[in-house]
């Protein structure tokens, strides 16, 4: 029988079943709607979704940000160069002690951040109106920002909040039901439903980030809100959409929860993110590459480079090695290897299963901090000795030993910014780890003691301008003292 004829017969069968079902319902007019609901199973499914959404909603917050941005066009005076801007986004409470995760771009340029925390279920229990109170608007502090993953951590002075659990994003599967929560276009605590379109979307080859792609409706304002599974666990943080119209077209992307967990825990503990590495460049094996090199598999990870004198080279890794697993976990692409190394503590050892010349071997490699990471000096400072409280930084003298760890500098004296204090005030255009401070309001800064001395002369809200060297460039950094 021709395939087309088979398809027609199957279609007729399906239509016949549908007609019989409708006829049965028509023949039993006294059958209660609730009974039909139970027969189809839709009622039970709907109620399970309702219960999950009711449990998740108190953990979703609306983020209000105010700050200054450069004014476009011609301005009449220098006082008009900056325009005040107000924006909103979303966030999710991930720790009952007041820690919230959102996107870095949501709080970019922020001078003030507030979050709207929904009224808890217990507070709503005695209210019958469908119009619920919006919640409590409280001030929030930016604990830290990681621009590579576009994630930020906020802190509010409230405890006992309803927090959501970050699930294992490696367990997410294509086609899985997911729900996007947030405040699209300012409409707080909205929810949409969809499926996972891709579990590890890489927008560009060797992109430093991978995303969970979903067709759940995501619009401007959803950024920073949680993408949750049917159990109410966070599988990702809604980050951006691809759109030709500016609105949702069913192509949304969320930072996977395993990456979110690593970034959150490091920012909460240290105020910044350290990333582990083993001194190799890992690439994803493609069918073309596998065919040209005669590899046994057309997927996985191959080492495109092993950096001289790095831990990988010292352990005996070679260019062209195929990495099969990391600590027993199958490695399917180059980015997966990098992400799994990021979360390893500096100084620990990992075990790689390596395929070379059709022979498998096990190699132990020491994890180091990724070169160029701005947090490399945190191990050399402590809060008691190096905190500059009114700047919210951990700083250290520019000694010859420290200078050897830096690229060539313009001057031989100054103060190095080693990191930010976790509870520091935050300036988007302020000091960054790795900056070297040379002067403050025109006065030379040659030591940490001298920096503190100059700062002691200033009052809250005084204007501050510092000359710093950043990545080989001299620049001025200005802000108001808080």
Residues with catalytic function: 105, 150, 223
Q: How many CA atoms lie within 13 A of 344 on its CB side?
A: 22
d(CA 349, CA 341): 10
Q: Long-range contacts made by residues 383-392, C-beta under 8 angstroms, separation at least 24?
A: 383/421, 386/418, 386/448, 387/421, 388/448, 388/451, 388/452, 388/455, 389/421, 390/455, 390/458, 390/481, 390/482, 391/424, 391/431, 391/455, 392/420, 392/421, 392/423, 392/424, 392/425, 392/426
Burial (0-12, 13-18, 19+ Cβ within 10 Å), 51: exposed
3-state SS track over 198-267: EEEECCCCCCCCCEEEECCCCCCCCCCCEEEECCCCEEEEEEEECCCCCCCCCCEEEEEHHHHHHHHHHH
Q: Which residues of 16-41 are buried (b: 16+ CB within 10 A; e: fewer)?
A: eeeeeeeeeeeeeeeeeeeeeeeeee
The counts of H helices and E strands in the chain are 11, 27
Q: Are 195 and 186 in contact (CB under 8 A)?
A: no
Longest dimension (CA), the chain: 93
Q: Are 301 and 320 in contact (CB under 8 A)?
A: no
Q: Which residues are 145's β-sheet partners?
A: 152
> Distance of alpha carbon 260 from its chain centroid, rounded?
5
Distances in Å between the alpha carbon of 50 and those of 43, 230, 238, 466? Answer: 10, 10, 21, 54
d(CA 102, CA 62): 10
d(CA 209, CA 258): 12
d(CA 387, CA 378): 12
């Amino acid at each position: 029988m021709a395939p087309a004829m088979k398809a027609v017969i199957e279609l007729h069968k399906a239509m016949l079943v549908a007609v019989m079902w409708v006829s049965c319902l028509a023949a039993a007019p006294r059958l209660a709607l609730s009974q039909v609901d139970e027969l189809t199973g839709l009622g039970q499914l709907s109620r399970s979704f309702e219960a999950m959404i009711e449990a998740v909603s108190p953990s979703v917050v609306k983020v209000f940000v105010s700050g200054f941005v450069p004014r476009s066009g011609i301005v009449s005076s220098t006082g008009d160069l900056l325009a005040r801007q107000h924006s909103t986004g979303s966030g999710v409470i991930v720790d009952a002690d007041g820690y919230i995760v959102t996107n870095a771009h949501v709080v970019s340029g922020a001078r003030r951040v507030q979050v709207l925390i929904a009224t808890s279920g217990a507070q709503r229990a005695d209210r019958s109106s469908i119009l619920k109170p919006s919640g409590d608007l409280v001030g929030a502090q930016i604990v830290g920002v990681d621009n590579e993953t576009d994630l930020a951590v906020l802190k509010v002075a409230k405890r006992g909040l309803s927090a959501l659990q970050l699930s294992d994003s490696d367990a997410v599967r294509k086609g899985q039901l997911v729900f996007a929560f947030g405040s699209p276009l300012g409409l707080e605590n909205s929810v949409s439903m969809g499926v996972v379109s891709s579990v590890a979307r890489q927008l560009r080859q060797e992109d430093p980030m991978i995303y969970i792609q979903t067709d759940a409706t995501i619009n401007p304002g959803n950024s920073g809100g949680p993408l949750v599974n049917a159990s109410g666990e966070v599988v990702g943080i809604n980050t951006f959409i691809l759109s030709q119209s500016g609105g949702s077209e069913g192509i949304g992307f969320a930072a996977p929860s395993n990456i979110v967990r690593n970034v959150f825990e490091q920012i909460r503990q240290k105020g910044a993110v350290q990333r582990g590495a083993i001194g190799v460049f890992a690439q994803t094996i493609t069918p073309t590459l596998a065919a040209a090199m005669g590899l046994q598999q057309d997927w996985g990870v191959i080492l495109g480079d092993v950096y001289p004198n790095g831990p990988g080279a010292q352990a005996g890794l070679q260019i062209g090695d195929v990495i099969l697993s990391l600590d027993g976990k199958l490695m399917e692409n180059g980015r997966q290897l990098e992400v799994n190394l990021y979360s390893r503590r500096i100084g620990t050892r990992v075990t790689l299963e390596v395929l070379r010349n059709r022979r498998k071997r096990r190699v132990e490699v020491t994890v180091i901090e990724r070169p160029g990471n701005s947090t490399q000096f945190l191990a050399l400072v402590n809060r008691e000795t190096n905190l500059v409280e009114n700047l919210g930084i951990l700083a250290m003298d520019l000694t010859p030993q420290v200078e050897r760890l830096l690229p060539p500098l313009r001057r031989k004296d100054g103060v190095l910014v080693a990191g930010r204090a976790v509870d520091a005030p935050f300036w988007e255009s302020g000091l960054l780890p790795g900056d070297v401070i040379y002067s403050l309001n025109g006065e030379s800064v040659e030591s940490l003691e001298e920096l503190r001395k100059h700062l002691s002369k200033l009052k809250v809200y005084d204007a501050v301008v510092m000359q710093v060297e950043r990545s080989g460039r001299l620049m001025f950094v200005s802000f108001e003292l808080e």
